[in-house]
């Protein structure tokens, strides 16, 4: 029975460890991901995003301002070209952040699911331990009852054997008496 208990416990401990390792990996990935988001967003796009508009009106105002400040057609083309590059860069940076946020949410959902599975496995292990303990108690109780019944059976056999011997002795005495009685002359 101890082997079953040990096997069950080993199985659930392995399952819990697997879930714990997965949770740790997801946590590390999330931390690395957050660091990479912070580093890339801060290094590459933070400067650009601070200086770039966030909506259509802002971009339109920037375009008008750049056109007003252009000294000639070549300057205007160069300014619009830089503006389009900034706009494109802004879109890419925001798209990257959006994708990274989606990945982060998915990772978080996975981590929560792993946490839930881990808790379920722990409860399952606890329940199995209780069942094994109950089984062991029942097994001990049965062994004790068996020992008591065996002892009672042996006592009964000894008592029965004693009474059989006594009965056998009585039968012999009765036979002896009946022989003596038959040898006596009739009165």
> Using 50, 70 and 90 to split pLDDT, how confident is the model at 37?
low
Residues 10-29 have pLDDT tens digits of 766 666 666 667 666 666 76
Contact 16, 121 (CB under 8 A): yes
The pTM score is: 0.46
> Using 50, 70 and 90 to split pLDDT, how confident is the model at 164?
confident
Q: List, in order, residues 6 or more apart from 55 with CB less than 8 Å away.
A: none
Share above pLDDT 70 across residues of the chain, in percent, rounded to a whole number: 72
DSSP states of 55-78 as a string? SHHHHHHHHHHHHHH--SHHHHHH
Q: List, in order, residues 6 or more apart from 36 with CB less than 8 Å away.
A: 100
Distances (CA, A) of 152 to 143, 144, 149, 160: 14, 12, 5, 12
| In the chain, domain spans | 2-142
Exposure of 95 by Cβ count < 10 A (0-12 exposed, 13-18 middle, 19+ buried)? exposed
Residues 128-162 have pLDDT tens digits of 999 999 999 999 999 999 999 999 999 999 988 88
Contact 87, 59 (CB under 8 A): yes
> Using 50, 70 and 90 to split pLDDT, how confident is the model at 74?
very high
């Amino acid at each position: 029975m101890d082997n079953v208990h040990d096997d069950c416990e080993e199985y659930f401990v392995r399952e819990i460890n697997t879930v714990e390792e997965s949770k740790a990996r997801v946590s590390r990935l999330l931390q690395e991901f957050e660091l990479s988001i912070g580093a890339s967003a801060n290094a590459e796009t933070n400067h650009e995003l601070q200086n770039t508009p966030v909506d259509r009106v802002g971009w339109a105002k920037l375009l008008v301002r750049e056109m007003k400040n252009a000294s000639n057609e070549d300057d205007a083309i160069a300014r619009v070209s830089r503006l389009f590059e900034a706009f494109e860069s802004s879109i890419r940076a925001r798209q990257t952040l959006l994708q990274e946020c989606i990945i982060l949410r998915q990772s978080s959902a996975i981590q929560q699911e792993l946490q839930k599975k881990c808790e379920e496995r722990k409860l399952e292990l606890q329940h199995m331990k209780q069942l094994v303990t109950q089984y062991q108690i029942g097994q001990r109780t049965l062994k004790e009852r068996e020992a008591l019944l065996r002892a009672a059976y042996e006592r009964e056999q000894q008592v029965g054997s004693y009474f059989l011997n006594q009965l056998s002795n009585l039968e012999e005495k009765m036979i002896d008496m009946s022989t003596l009685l038959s040898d006596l002359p009739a009165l």
